[in-house]
Structure 1
Amino acid sequence: MTTMDSSENNSTAELMSRYVSSEPGYGVPKDGWRICLAHEFKEKRKPFQAKDVSFSNLVDHIGLGVRYLKWWYNKTRVEKKAPFIDMFGALPLRQIYGAPLGGIGGGTITRGWRGEFCRWQLNPGMYHYKTVIADQFTVCLRQGGRTVYQQVLSVERPPTLQGWNWGYCGEYAFYHALYPRAWTVYHLPGQNVTLTCRQVSPIIPHDYQDSSLPVAVFVWDVENRNDYPLDVSIMLTLVNGSGHKDDKSGGHWNEPFHLEKEGESVSGVLLHHCTAVNPYTLCMAVREQSDREISHQTAFIPKGTCAALWNDLITDGRLDSPTGSSPPTQMGEKVAAALAAGCPVPAQGHNTLEFSLAWDMPIITFGSRERRHARRYTRFFGAKADAAPSLSLYALTHYQRWETSIEEWQRPILQDSSLPSWYKSALFNELYFVADGGTVWNELPPDSDVSGGVRSEDGGLPAQPAVIKEYGRFAYLEGQEYRMYNTYDVHFYASFALIMLWPKLALSLQYDIAGCVVSCDPTERLHLMSGTYSPVKTKNVVPHDIGDPDDEPWQRVNAYLIHDTADWKDLNLKFVLHVYRDYHLTQDKQYLQDMWPICQAVMESEMKFDTDGDGLIENSGYADQTYDGWIVTGPSAYCGGLWLASVCAMCKMARLVDNEPVFHRFKDILDRGSAAFDKLLWNGQYYNYDSSGRELSNSVMSDQCAGHWFLRASGLGYGEFQAFPKEKICSALKSVFDLNVMSFAGGQMGAVNGMRPEGVPDRSSVQSDEVWIGVVYGLAATMIHEGMLEEGLRTAEGCYRTVWERLGMAFQTPEAYCEKGIYRSLAYMRPLSIWAMQLALDSSPLRKPASPSSSQTSTS
């Protein structure tokens, strides 16, 4: 083996510069998130724990703590289930993740930025975080019939598989992500050879077929800058499994395969993972071409030195390629497979090798194992668990079309010189959560009824709405640690990504929520905060979520049992605002017609919160909205603003459906409520947090204009049904920018949730002194709608720089962080709200050039 030649030790910056190109499909794009493989993040944060709560807050939550501990013990020790929120098992920060592999709703596999396969979500909504060290790419270079270089493309030096050549020097490589694609560029020291691995997943806006496929493609471009030709082989090794304990459960087996169809052919290895629940097949494949040599090793044991496999490749750049299947594994035994592809690379030339990775788990059960669900992709590839070869061939013959579609979608934004590079990176890379949010996208079972057979007085919903029958059922988690599907108070923020890019999925989700609204579950259960019993689900109230993947989503809703969310003030209002915004953006009249009676029902249910009849709802004196740890009493800026905005939407929709009596009723409420909102909350500069008169009631809440934000996103800002005067909205946003943004952490970390007017964070709760990244992106969108473009971009930039560049939280953006020390809930739904910024930019008449400080995003 050739050792490193120090004369070729170019700086990482030079290497990065060399491989920045605008050539579609080959060069690395200018914009995105970039990091050297040798990088180490200096700041190491801890997850939020009970000890991080102030003494006064701890005293307030003693009852919750005792009840949670009892519930947690019963859930984990008696039921043997995972808690929907595990306060004793928060994920530690691992600064390793890269762009996830796979389409939407078929499970995901995450490949880290150093090349490791390290995060797995194959069973729906359930994660484990295990780096499978044997899952690697290896390169072999041969000149004149002899091997001159062979290297695992990993910086790791593991204690196992020591017969392999580990410890690639990360200084010679960098990773670049612009989701749904990623590039890793490896300079092979001493060889004058550069490998560029391009990772492609089928995440394609407005595509409801290929976007559902559980596949990814790795395109390896080999550049030979020598004056002599080389033969180059790339080998992929893969364990049958995902690092989970069931890898050793026995009965797993591998087999080689070859598939030809319509003049194209692929070869590879199938790894059949034969668990009792949710069995699946992993498939690695290579596209056959005239000058490619494909070989395989059907099975090897991934432990010990594993020198035999290494030596097999090093001998002649290919593997032995035995025929036949491997025997099923014994209990306690793991099995792996290898696939190699080789090609000639001329002097001063390049060549390309194409690998695919697919996983076929067509029928799934959730944790309760009560029902079987067919994943969306089975509509196109069948549900017989034999689709892996066809998926692989399809991916390898269609990925170029996917890339064309991705480039056409991204190009207008990437070429917009008025937008800073960090924003372009954030916009596309935060989209990872649409696929990697524990996402399920299933076919609607033939016997399904979205509202459980319940119909409202006005007729209600069809049992199987056309959009769900045609486009399937969609659900994603609140967060990888907060395991509840379609958490609605948070989806309010995240939903912009869906309605702008996959609007049929957004509408499908809305129909499911609407079906839950008219149904009920009178089962009494204990709510952990109050210690009281109340029904699981109340009729004509929007659910908090549609269930836990470790139970049976859609069948048993409201997995969240900390509060009784039937008393939450924001859920019903957010549903109404969703309905009108979705109609505004899609112009789907059938959708509006179907949702109108549901909107009337939830608004009627909400009326009881206006206890004094002044047209404005009151909060209850506890945490009764998405800020579920921040007490609010009486009329409040957040819920009061959402109320007025939803009343505006009801006025507009009443006119659209030609219902004048309802219009006049809500117009009267709007007039009275707006006056009360102004009288009780406006202090001359911004809207107070609440009207209780408590010591901290005049805190500046960063999210105080959330209702107005949705009106502007829906084209209803200052028109016929005005709820908020423009001059007061602009003054409030300026106060938030001056205090919550610029007076917090030197203006470099986004907007803190609560700020005192004297310029110090509100520390009255565990949430008031946090930054919520998704809220900040929504705030930035609101600023942009109001012509505060520079302020909006500055506000959002602080979050992106903090999360992606300083804290190493790429592809795991959390719900929250504090100025120092801690974060909370990694990999969270709400930051998808960055797409609301794009909607605001698209409709903004003011587009200023990017500031000189907004340079190319990098962490190196």
Structure 2
Amino acid sequence: MEPPSGDPAAGLMSRYVSAERGYGVPEEGWRICLAHEFQEKRKPFQAKDVSLSNVMEHIGLGIRYLKWWYRKTQVEKKAPFIDMFRAQPLRQIYGAPLGGIGGGTITRGWRGEFCRWQLNPGMYHYKTVIANQFTVCLRRGGRTVYQQVLSVERPPTLQGWNWGFCGQYAFYHALYPRAWTVYHLPGQNVTLTCRQVSPIIPHDYQDSSLPVAVLVWDIENRNDYALDVSIMFTMTNGSGCKDDKSGGHWNEPFCLKKEGESVSGVLLHHRTPVNPYTLCIAAREQADRTVSHQTAFSPRGTCEELWNDLITDGRLDSPAGPSPPTQKGEKVAAALVAGCSVSALGHGTLEFCLAWDMPKITFGSRERQHVRRYTRFFGAEGDSGPTLCHHALTHYRDWERSIEAWQRPILQDSSLPSWYKSALFNELYFVADGGTVWVELPEDGDISGGVRTEDGGLPAQPHVVKEYGRFAYLEGQEYRMYNTYDVHFYASFALIMLWPKLALSLQYDIAGCVVQEDLTARLNLMNGRYSPVKTRNMVPHDIGDPDDEPWLRVNAYLIHDTADWKDLNLKFVLHVYRDFHLTQDRQYLEDMWPICQAVMESAMKFDLDGDGLIENSGFADQTYDGWTVTGPSAYCGGLWLASVCVMCKMARLLDRESVYWRYRDVLDRGSAAFDELLWNGQYYNYDSSGRDLSNSVMSDQCAGQWFLRASGLGEGEYQAFPVEKVHRALKSVFDLNVLRFAGGRMGAVNGMRPEGVPDRSSVQSDEVWVGVVYGLAATMIHEGMVQEGLCTAEGCYRTVWEQLGMAFQTPEAYCEKAIFRSLAYMRPLSIWAMQLALEQRRQEGDGEAGQLAAGGGSS
């Protein structure tokens, strides 16, 4: 985000852009001045935002939820998987999170604060720890001439430090998994660039799992005299939680020399009874660098002693030995300083690392212990902090080369707009920061609990799960369910394109859940009826709550009985073939085939009249769980036909000819019924109920065609929808849901009336779902509507990242005005479906060009 032309920072932005380029700051990315203030302050969705008609319709749900919420919070002392009374307020502060995949994350805000923590798996707290800072000290001729905390804050604590850096002189840039903060030190002719690097590397299953980040400080001295420059990194032992004062925490210095490289720093041992961990701050030692530390200081009071120690000579006293364990009520912090001399008109570099070692984890139930993926390479004894830091500081340049090689073709593609390049990479933050866990499968683990399908089934330990581990991420940081499958349908493109082994591993886990059942009767909050927790041969909604025991107890979602949902089984089948198409993993296809047959047989019961097309129940029985649908519908009917189509394709690939003809018959009859019941000449009606709003225009009506196209199908023998009708429907969606909503500047509203006003029949029909919009844009691109697709998606990016200040917390939904819902959500990872569509079109174009060049084109 550029500062406005009247902003004093505008000239500085221009002046220092060349310096930024000199340190490798890419032109593309999300950019913001540290002095920026977002004008729009939205509120989270609350019950009072529901219309009176919707309140009356859901009054039973509200009463049942309240009773359940009280029992959960007051009796069981647990956090609800969705807390409707304590939605997270919008904090317009977040930057790129630190850390790899599955080992926890720490988010550093765009103003430099450490402000969002997810170390215990899947559980977040949002606390800015004010003592966690970087401070610069400049010395000339043996005298300190400048010492400043690099923070715009003026906190009521630590008054002995020099706070209040002028934000107009600093700029933040993010292109995940890297970020840059450029500080021009007023009056000093010195520019500091802090480059933040996390090991998020496509197709890398080792370093991508590491709970580390490197913070590299590049120093430009534009003076005609040399300077001694020191950077101090302070870190509190803990994360701002009440257990920081529980007592027993202690720090110790370390130095590790290995393979000709040496790193030193401080280990901060956090000794909680559950999931203890060690934070580690470290710096790389070199001949022309000085590294010093303060093992322990109290982050209370003025802290003048530490500040003055640095002022004296640009370094700290470096006491030896560990600190005593803290007493109850005490906090302890540590400080690390790296320094170097920078010649006149010269440059210097100082390298820091932050790591956290929590090798063994338990979820909320504390029934089982899980071992994180990174321990395969660095051990599970809880003493890996030094080696993690050493590895990071000696390998981060390799990581950057890999990241640049991956991003370069996209960044250099002049046909792609800059906002898209920023969105594509920055939305990827959720792969690591989505409460993500990546753990080893136990030696005696069995993904299906010993249950097999009647027609064969899954191996107890599929090779991909045994070799690459188990992967899970949350539906959202506020919607706390792992691998929510109806939403993963959209988000999964990021995994299958960048870490396909994790995508397949997740699929094996879901398949293992399919064949299992849990007949425990449970109250559904929506209708007040009891039903089994998990029904055999139905895809689970999710694999569990991190505050309970994921994988062991699935379906944490208890608002609806999702065994009656129409989309989950179909999405599994569509996933299977798309994943096979992109990986060509034949063993995977063969393993999944019996599961696909089982879930399709279960879904057949939803075709009540035998016309080859399933019906919805009259309730909210799919991913739009607040928007009722009756009879055959565009969304679920389209997913059904697409899944039948891929069953035909898989049957042919596996030489199951009789199965092919069975599904071919269903496809032919179902496609005819779909057209007859839903096509109105311009688009597919929302449903076929004949209600007043059944002809609403649903933005997601072509989701089935989207997945067919992503799987290389959708035409010829494997076609479920006439292409000309798909094009007509997408044009209607663009004209109505996009251009006639909010002036065409906010993406696509979920439901639009044909007269051009949003469908306000439910709490979801008049929302924009960012992940759905990216999927819609991908569909448009597949169908040749490239500019329309980019225009549609741009509205979401501009709204979320630039207008609403929701960087690195993209929500599930927002309305045209006033409110948003569910910050930091899984579904927007679907932007990678746009990239797949663009790549497939380019490949098809190259193929056509090659064919014409070879004389194969027709005249």
TM-score (norm 1): 0.97
Quote the offset at 1:93 in angstroms.
0.1
Q: Per-residue displacement from partner, 1:53-85 (whole Å, max 9, x unpaired)?
A: 000000000000000000000000000000000
Q: Distance in 1 between matches of 2:455 and 2:387?
A: 47
**1:734 and 2:731 correspond:** yes
**In structure 1, C-alpha distance between the alignment counterparts of 2:450 and 2:68, rounded to whole Å:** 32
Alignment equivalent of 2:227, drawn from 226, 230, 245: 230
The one-letter amino acid paired with 1:83 is P
For the Cα contact (< 8 Å) 1:20–1:29, is it kept in 2?
no
CA distance in 2, matches of 1:601, 1:33: 46
State which of 23, 28, 38 in structure 2 corresponds to 1:31. Answer: 28
Could you tell me which residue of structure 1 aligns to residue 652 of structure 2?
655
- Paired AA for residue 86 in structure 1: D
**Structure 2 CA distance for partners of 1:576 and 1:10, relative to 1, 3 Å:** closer
Displacement after TM superposition at 1:465 (Å): 0.5
Give the 3 Å change call, closer, same or farther, for CA 785–263 of structure 1 in structure 2.
Answer: same
Matches within 5 A, 1:342-421: 342-421=339-418
Code of the aligned partner of 1:524: A
Shift of 1:438: 0.1
Task: Determine whether 1:490 maps to 2:518.
Answer: no
Partner of 2:178: 181
Alignment of 1:529-548 (within 5 A): 529-548=526-545
Q: SS of the residue aligned with 1:149?
A: strand
Structure-1 residue corresponding to 2:115: 118
SS class of match (2:581): helix
2:425 matches 1:428: yes
SS across alignment from 1:795 = helix
**AA paired with 2:806?**
M
- 2:840 maps to 843
For residue 597 of structure 1, the aligned residue among 588, 594, 609 is 594
- CA offsets, 1:795-824, max 9 Å, x none? 000000000000000000000000000000
Q: Residue 50 of structure 1 aligns with which residue? A: 47
Choose the corresponding residue for 1:606, options 603, 608, 615: 603
Measure, in 2, the Cα distance between the counterparts of 1:715 and 1:291: 57
> What is the alpha-carbon distance in structure 2 between the residues aligned to residue 763 and residue 436 of structure 1?
33
- Matching residue within 710, 714, 718 for 2:715: 718
1:752 equivalent in alignment to 2:749 = yes
Structure-to-structure mapping, 1:495-644, within 5 angstroms: 495-644=492-641
- Choose the corresponding residue for 2:95, options 81, 90, 98: 98
- 1:530 partner SS: coil
- Cα distance in 2 for partners of 1:563, 1:626 equals 11
Question: Aligned pair count?
Answer: 840
Task: Give, as a single letter, the amino acid of the residue that structure 2 aligns with 1:733.
Answer: L
Alignment partner, residue 194 of structure 2: 197
Q: Which amino acid aligns with 1:709?
A: W
Structure 2 distance, partners of 1:286, 1:576, is: 49
CA deviations 1:392-432 (Å, max 9, x no partner) are 00000000000000000000000000000000000000000
Structure 2 counterpart of 1:797: 794
Provide the C-alpha distance between the structure 1 equivalents of 2:164 and 2:20, rounded to a whole number of angstroms: 32
Deviation of 1:13 after TM superposition, in Å, equals 3.3
Please name the residue that 1:689 is paired with.
686
Once the two structures are TM-superposed, the CA of residue 26 in structure 1 deviates from its matched residue by 2.4
Answer yes or no: is the 8 Å Cα contact 1:98–1:811 preserved in 2.
yes
User: For the residues of structure 1 that align with 2:817 and 2:9, how far apart are their CA atoms?
Assistant: 30
2:20, 2:182 within 8 Å by CA — same for their partners in 1? no
In structure 2, how many angstroms separate the alpha carbons of the residues matched to 1:814 and 1:457?
A: 41
User: What letter matches 1:317 in structure 2?
Assistant: G
Corresponding residue of 1:853 = none
- Native 8 Å contact 1:173 1:185 kept in 2: yes
Instruction: Give RMSD over aligned pairs.
Output: 1.3
Structure 1 Cα separation of the partners of residues 638 and 18 of structure 2: 47
Is residue 68 of structure 1 aligned with residue 65 of structure 2?
Answer: yes
The separation in 2 between residues aligned to 1:590 and 1:41, in whole angstroms, is: 51
Residue 854 of structure 2: aligned partner: none
Q: Deviations over 1:523-545 (max 9, x none)?
A: 00100001000000000000000
Question: Is 1:250–1:329's contact at 8 Å kept on the other side of the alignment?
Answer: yes
Equivalent position SS for 2:605: helix
Shift of 1:24: 8.7
CA distance 1:10–1:563, shift in 2 (3 Å): closer
Contact 2:543 2:555 in 1 (8 A): yes
1:811-850 → structure 2 map (5 Å cutoff): 811-845=808-842
Q: What is the alpha-carbon distance in structure 1 between the residues aligned to residue 614 and residue 225 of structure 2? A: 78
Q: Is the 8 A contact 1:641 1:707 kept in 2?
A: yes
**Secondary structure at the counterpart of residue 720 of structure 1:** helix
| Aligned position for 2:280 | 283
Q: Give the Cα separation in 1 of the matches to 2:266 and 2:13.
A: 34
Distance 1:264 1:181 in 2: 24
Cα distance in 2 between the residues matched to 1:459 and 1:696: 45
State the 1:717 CA deviation. Answer: 1.5
For residues 21-71 of structure 1, the C-alpha deviation after alignment (integer angstroms, 9 at most, x for no partner) is: 699992211000000000000000000000000000000000000000000
TM-score w.r.t. the length of structure 2 is 0.97
Shift of 1:447: 1.3
Residue 131 in structure 1 maps to residue 128 in structure 2:
yes
| Alignment partners' CA distance in 2, 1:13 and 1:468 | 51
- State the identity %: 85
Q: Say which SS state the counterpart of residue 279 (structure 2) adopts.
A: strand
Aligned to 1:307: 304
Between 581-590 and 714-723, the greater mean CA deviation after superposition: 714-723
Could you tell me which runs of 5 or more consecutive residues in structure 2 were left unpaired when the two chains were aligned.
1-5, 846-859
Take 2:47 and 2:799, find their aligned partners in 1: how far apart are those partners?
24
Distance of 2:101 and 2:842 partners within structure 1: 34
Shift of 1:18: 4.5
Question: Residue deviations 1:287-309, cap 9 Å, x none?
Answer: 00001011100000001111000
Distance 1:137 1:486 in 2: 37
**One-letter identity of the residue aligned with 1:265:** S
Tell me the distance in 2 between the aligned counterparts of 1:21 and 1:140. Answer: 24
Counterpart position of 1:450: 447
* SS of 2:364 mapped into structure 1: coil
Partner Cα distance (1:282, 1:401) in 2? 24
Supply the distance in 2 between the matched residues of 1:846 and 1:820 (Cα, whole angstroms): 40
Q: For the residues of structure 2 that align with 1:545 and 1:20, how far apart are their CA atoms? A: 46
Change (3 A) 1:375 1:575: same
SS at match of 1:609: coil
- Displacement of 1:721 after TM fit? 1.9
Deviations 1:621-656 (A, max 9, x none): 000000000000000000000000000000000000
CA drift at 1:844: 1.4
Q: CA deviation at 1:19?
A: 4.6
CA distance in 1, matches of 2:117, 2:660: 50
**Distance in 2 of aligned mates of 1:376 and 1:20:** 40
Higher-RCO chain (CA-CA 8 Å, sequence separation at least 6) = 1
Shift of 1:12: 2.8
Q: Deviations over 1:105-142 (max 9, x none)?
A: 00000000000000000000000000000000000000
For residues 698 and 16 of structure 1, the distance between their equivalents in structure 2, rounded to whole angstroms, comes to 50
Q: CA contact under 8 A between 1:21 and 1:27: conserved in structure 2?
A: no
2:167 counterpart of 1:170: yes
Answer yes or no: is the 8 Å Cα contact 1:789–1:847 preserved in 2. no
The one-letter amino acid of 2:830's match is S
2:195 aligns to what SS in structure 1?
A: strand
Q: Distance between the aligned counterparts of 1:620 and 1:392, measured in 2?
A: 55
| Counterpart contact for 1:12–1:174, Cα < 8 Å | no
Q: Deviations over 1:233-273 (max 9, x none)?
A: 00000000000010000000000000000100100000000
Letter of the 1:773 counterpart: V
